[in-house]
Amino acid sequence: MTWLGELEPPIDLEFEGIAPPEGVDLPKGDKLLSLCERGNPRGFIEYPAESPVFFIKHGLAVYWNEVLAQDMAYRELRKLGSSVRVPGIFYACRTMQRACKDDEAEAERVRGIVVHCLNDLIRIPVAAGSRPAAIDGGRIRHDVFDCRVASRHYENVNQLEEHINYPLVKDLEREPMIFLQEDWFPANFMRDADGRPVAIDFSETSILPSSFAKFLLWDNRFGITIRGRVDIPVTEGVDNTMALLHISGLINMGARSFSEFGYRVAGGDRETQVRMNESIRTAASNAVDAEAGTSTVASIGSSST
C-alpha cells in the first residue's frame, strides 16, 4: 500500500518498514508517484480476491502518525499472537473503504468485526511512563478536541487534566494508558478472503488514558453501538467517561478559549512547547525506520500476511 500526503510533523521523511517479499521490486520516489497519477483501474474495492503483493494509497488526507501507528499495530499484534490482521508497511499504504449496508444482519456482522479488532488493538502494550500523545509524538488526536487534535503537547497526564480544568475529571493519571485507534468508522474494519478481521486507517491513533476509549463507546457518532462489548482496562474507583462527554462539547464550542488557557497552565509555555516540537522532529529524523526524503509521504504496505 502507498501513502502520498503531507507529513506531520512538517519535515521531510521517508519510511522503510518491513522487508518486501524476495524478488519483489517495489516502486519508490518518482516511479511510485507516476503509478499513482495513472488512476485506479479497479474502482472502489474492499479486498481483492487475488491477494496482491501490495496496495497503493494516495491522497491529501494522510498523516505521518497513521504510518507509525499502523506499523506499531502490525508489529505488536504479531508479538501478541493475535488473529487480528493489520496491513504491514513496506514503504507506505492505504486501502479503499466501502459503506456497509443498512440491514441489521450486515450491521451485526460489521459490529462483530469492529469489536474483535478493538479488543485486540487495545491489548497492544504501552511503555511505562508514556505521555498522552499521538504515536509519532505529536499532539493527541481524539474527538474530545476541536477538529480531533489537541491544541498543545502534554508532558504527562496531569498536565492534560489541568488543561481540561473540569472538576468532574479526576485522577486521570491513575487510569491505564492504552493504544487507542479512535476512528471507529465501520468501513475501517473488514475481513479478508480467509475470514480474518482486518483493521485499517490509523491516522487518528494516540496513547491515552482508558476513559478516552470509553468516551467513544458513548459518543456513537458513526451509528454503530458496541457498548459493553469492548474490554477496556480500568482502574477501580476511577472513571472519567461521563466527565469527558460533558466537557467535550464545551471544548469544541470554545476552542479558542480552551487553546489559550492551555498555554497558561503547566507545560503550555512557549519554551516547553517549542522544545517538545524540536524533540519530536529530532526523534523522527533519527528513527531507525525514517530517513530524510521528500515532502510527500510515499509508503507501500503488505496485505498483512
Q: How does pLDDT run across 111-153, given as a tens digit for each residue?
A: 899 999 999 999 999 999 999 999 999 999 999 998 889 999 9
In angstroms, the CA 125 to CA 177 distance is 9
Mean pLDDT lowest for which of 62-76, 93-107, 131-145, 266-280? 93-107
Give the DSSP letter string of 31-85: HHHHHHHT--SS-S-S--TT--SEE---SSS--HHHHHHHHHHHHHHHHHT-S-B
* All cell numbers assigned to 42: 479497479
In angstroms, the CA 140 to CA 144 distance is 10
**Residue whose C-alpha is closest to residue 32's, from 96, 95, 93, 97:** 93
| Ranges 8-22, 212-226, 229-243, most confident | 229-243
- The answer to whether 146 and 258 are in contact (CB under 8 A) is yes
Domain boundaries, the chain: 14-290
* All cell numbers assigned to 301: 504496505
pLDDT tens column, 279-289: 988 887 776 45
